[in-house]
Structure formats: structure tokens, C-alpha cells
Amino acid sequence: MDKTITSFAEFYPFYLNQHSNRVSRVLHYIGTTLSILVLLFALFNQQWLLLLLVPVAGYSFAWVGHFFFEKNKPATLNYPAYSLAADYVMVFEALTGRLDHSHFSAPKKS
């Protein structure tokens, strides 16, 4: 991507395109869900050191998806705030049946 993205509305279609592999998306869903659960557990139990695991829980699954399935560079490296927001939007849209699959490229033939 050569052009600098300046809004979330501009970023989100790019983000979805970078998550065209179904396995990668599922790994993102798992990581995002785990990060929320770890955050809630840490807050409710006042286990402040567990807050260090929130990004580990989320990004470890997501980056496995990028490096092994998508074979692309995580958008988090260039757009951390937009990428974090997009993770939650994608999970919400997937759970509510609103995820726009037109941004996903066709599966590659072997």
C-alpha cells in the first residue's frame, strides 16, 4: 500500500482485504475474544499484571494468521489504532452476520 490512510472508513476495506483467508479471520476472532476475556478477568479480579497478557492474547493468534496463512504484514505495524478498532469491528460484524465478504479475495487454487 503506497498511499497513507487518513480515516477509519478508508482503512477498514483495506483491513478486510488483508484478512481474506478464513483461517486467519478465525484466529483473529479467537485472539480478540481471548484479549477481552483476559482484560475482564484482570479488571474484575484486580490482577493488574494480567493486563500485560491482553495484547499477547490478541496479537499472538492474529500474527500467526498473517505470517502462516495470509502471508502478509500485519496492518498493526503501520496503523495500530485503526487496526485495533478494526479487529473489534470485524468480530462484531462476524457475530452479527454483517461482515461484508466482498472485500475478501477469491480462494487461491492449488
Q: What confidence category does residue 79 fall into, taking pLDDT thresholds of 50, 70 and 90?
A: very high
pTM: 0.85
First to last CA, the chain: 26
- 107 pLDDT exceeds 70? no
- 28 pLDDT exceeds 90? yes
Give how far the C-alpha of residue 56 lies from the chain's centroid of Cα atoms, to the nearest Å.
13
Domain spans, the chain: 10-99
